[in-house]
Chain A
Amino acid sequence: SQQGEEDPQALSIQEGENATMNCSYKTSINNLQWYRQNSGRGLVHLILIRSNEREKHSGRLRVTLDTSKKSSSLLITASRAADTASYFCATDGPHGAGGTSYGKLTFGQGTILTVHP
């Protein structure tokens, strides 16, 4: 079952514009991750934000997390045609004993981003 919802389901923008995708989830988490998937390929990890963090940056990516609202957003600045892909948020729940990763990710439905050159 899906943990949460992402919106929009599809987003179409021009190169150079910013793209914002939102993710909501239902249960408590230890971290939230964003992944990208190009057509016919596996998922590529973009960024991980821990539950005690509120904002994180990586290159042109900015992720925010609001645990009180159980929501996150991914901002891609100065988008490029190569950013065209599906983007998924995934939540990681409670960890096991000894600090090992539970690792059972629960994914949102994804946002299909199209960046027009």
Chain B
Amino acid sequence: GAGVSQSPSNKVTEKGKDVELRCDPISGHTALYWYRQSLGQGLEFLIYFQGNSAPDKSGLPSDRFSAERTGGSVSTLTIQRTQQEDSAVYLCASSAPWVDQPQHFGDGTRLSIL
């Protein structure tokens, strides 16, 4: 079946612009996660959605970052007023809601801020 799909695969934008990154999880996976991978910080958790529960936003680095998940499926990560330190690969993953389930990752969006 189809895996986790992320778009765009690459995004180059100027400092100060807003960007939207999209994630389409595996059908039936109610849990959805965003992570950021950068050379200096490694893989960092950003935000977690589980069904209709309030998301866990504890990993978002600043209030410029926000995420939505509409209809329990597609998710959008928005970064406002981008800064150069936002340059990274943004990875989305989804999983079944039960305990001890592996996460399935998309190939990520490589974001470059000029």
Chain A residues within CB distance 8 Å of chain B: 1-2, 30-31, 33, 35, 40-45, 48, 50, 88, 90, 92, 95-96, 99-110
Contacts and interface: CB of A to CB of B under 8 A. Distances in A.
Contacts of B91: 42-43
Contact of A101 (B31, B58, B104): B31
B84 interface: no
Given A31-B100, A33-B102, 20 more contacts: A2-B42, A43-B103, A45-B102, A48-B100, A90-B43, A92-B100, A95-B99, A96-B50, A99-B98, A100-B31, A100-B51, A101-B100, A102-B48, A104-B33, A104-B48, A104-B58, A104-B59, A105-B45, A106-B45, A107-B42
Interface residues of B, number: 30
